[in-house]
Structure 1
Amino acid sequence: MLRLTSPKMALDGKIAVVTGAAVGIGEAIARTLLQNSATVVLLDVNDAAGKAVVEDVTKQYGEDKALFLRCNVESEEQIKAAFQKTVDTFGGIDILCNNAGILNESEWEKTVSVNLLGVVRGTYVALQHMNKLTGGRGGVVVNTASMAGLGPLVSCPVYTATKHGVVGFTRAMAAASAVSGYGVRCNAICPHFVQTDLITNIKSKLGQFSHLDDATNQMMENTGLLTVSEVAESVLELVMDETKNGDVLMILKQGKQYITFPSMQ
């Protein structure tokens, strides 16, 4: 397990919110933050899985270290309620991991709503609690994008668009926060294919592009599959390294690297 020390951000006493936290990458992020002494609120629509994770981690870290709240990131009302419950219970929010996401080219409007609008909703509501200009403690937001946020995934045009949107929103939000003095850093991860339910039975999720299933599977075979723990360790890096703001970390099986973008100046 990756452990970063001073002068990095210490997580003891920090309150983290993770969306899509019941399974997969989100669960791994939650567990990694707990292992590094953060208190974690897990948000998801999967009640059974979310409660099972909290029950498990409570045995190891104690009842006051983890909380599950049902929350659909398509609902601003539910996000507001979950974040307010977090503040009421633990006293604030220091870390947000916008991780909830789906891949479904047939239900493309839902894909946009969850993958992109959910990130925007979550970030804006979190800012109401984290912004130093309005009484918050500052902190960090890490958004789960994808390699499809850096280049096209041929079988998933809408998924590609949403993840490009997450990357762009993250970078712009980071710049806006820095210029405005919000005290909130924003970063994104762009993992390649990860062994999760997202890619299980992927052909059934490609809609009109299901004929491109073989090309997608060939890409997976060529690049290999990341584990959720490998992705979570990169999230931890972006959370704890206080020099990172507006950074986009590409994660491959062969290693990881920060992306350099053309200057807009």
Structure 2
Amino acid sequence: MVYDIKGKNALVTGGASGIGLWFVKELLKSGANKVFVLYLHTENAGDISKQLNIEYGRECTCFQKVDVSNATQLENAFKTCINWCEQLDIVINNAGVMNDGKWEMEIAININAVVRGTKLAFQYMGKDKGGKGGIVVNLSSILGLQPLAGCPIYVATKHALIGMDRSWGTPFHYNRTGIKVLTMCPGVTDTPLISEAHGLQGDDILGRECQRELDAMPTQSPAHVAQSMMAMITKGETGSVWICEGGQPIYEVEIPDRLTLKRKN
């Protein structure tokens, strides 16, 4: 069944810059009613919100400064969002960092905050909690499906999200909550997360290898990733994992079970 974004309300973490801001723009372009945006470091977030509200002729965005790794701040943001838009339909856990040099922070943002954001989405949207169901999208990466020598901890965080989302996306949870859980795995995208990655691995050798490996991969624009996100939201089935790489059309990837993968001696 095709999901219609028109008239829906969304929450996007890390949505004031990079891919996240393009997600916000594409949601509005696709007819979303309101988008609640969480950000941390963007200095002109207020101006961006005003510009979008002017462009769409209504109070369609609300930007709130939040550290997603802070449990209290994140939960309060969800409460504020519900008070503002009354009903939440789509949650995109986009915020992430690629910084093995500060791996504890990396895990806190890339895993812990996404787990918490997903659970809060279930709490506020789940049919079993009095909600109307909805969609949760978590941002993994193509590096959640392959190794990369230069940033092993980042790779681990993205592998973790795929396992979690496929589990949340099982019929057991969907039948109970009415929430589809989708995973998007973008390839190398022209954003600061990629361009600054080589200097954030805590080791010059790792940094150089990280840069070499990333430079060998095809690149794409954040606008293409955002357009692909809308396509995935409208047609994705719960528990599905999607790849968007090199500016090519997004596609669903099938992950074989362990028996299929068993190596024959």
Deviation of 1:200 after TM superposition, in Å, equals 2.1
Preserved contact between residue 141 and residue 186 of structure 1 (Cα < 8 Å)? yes
Using structure 1 for the length normalisation, give the TM-score.
0.91
Q: What does residue 105 of structure 1 align with?
A: 100
Partner of 2:132: helix, strand, or coil? coil
1:20 and 1:43 in contact (8 A); partners too: yes
Q: Distance in 1 between matches of 2:172 and 2:45?
A: 32
Of residues 138, 146, 153, the one that matches 2:141 is 146
Task: Tell me what 2:120 maps to.
Answer: 125
> Take 1:239 and 1:70, find their aligned partners in 2: how far apart are those partners?
26
Provide the secondary structure at the position in 1 that maps to 2:44: helix
Picking from 54, 59, 66, the partner of 1:59 is 54
Q: CA RMSD in A?
A: 1.8
Counterpart in the other structure of 1:252? 245
Q: Give, in angstroms, the shift of residue 234 of structure 1.
A: 2.0
Residue 234, structure 1, aligned to residue 247, structure 2: no
* Alpha-carbon separation, structure 2, partners of 1:263 and 1:234: 26
Q: Who is 2:9 aligned against?
A: 15
Q: Is 1:29 aligned to residue 18 of structure 2? A: no
Alpha-carbon distance in structure 2 between the residues aligned to 1:45 and 1:97: 16
- Distance in 2 of aligned mates of 1:37 and 1:85: 22
Letter in 1 for 2:256: P
Query: By how many angstroms is 1:153 displaced?
Result: 1.5
Question: Percent identity, aligned pairs only?
Answer: 30
Alignment of 1:115-194 (within 5 A): 115-175=110-170, 178=173, 180-194=175-189
Give the partner amino acid of 1:31.
K
Residue 103 of structure 1, CA deviation: 1.0
Equivalent in the alignment of 2:263: none
Distance 2:247 2:195 in 1: 22
TM-score normalised by the chain length of structure 2: 0.91
Distance 2:111 2:17 in 1: 19
The runs of at least 4 consecutive aligned structure 1 residues that moved more than 4 Å come to none
Offset from partner CA, 1:82-108 (integer Å, 9 cap, x none): 111111111111000000001111110
- How many angstroms does 1:254 deviate by? 5.6
Aligned-partner SS, 1:153: coil
- Which has the higher mean CA deviation after the structures are superposed, 51-60 or 105-114? 51-60
Name the aligned partner's letter for residue 239 of structure 2.
Answer: G
Distance 2:106 2:74 in 1: 17
SS at structure 1 position matched to 2:92 = strand
Summarize deviations over 1:140-174 as a string: whole Å, max 9, x none: 00111111111112110110010001111111111
**How far apart, CA to CA, are the structure 2 residues paired with 1:164 and 1:78?**
26
Shift of 1:179: 5.4
* Correspondence 1:263 to 2:243: no
Q: 2:205 aligns with which of 191, 194, 211?
A: 211
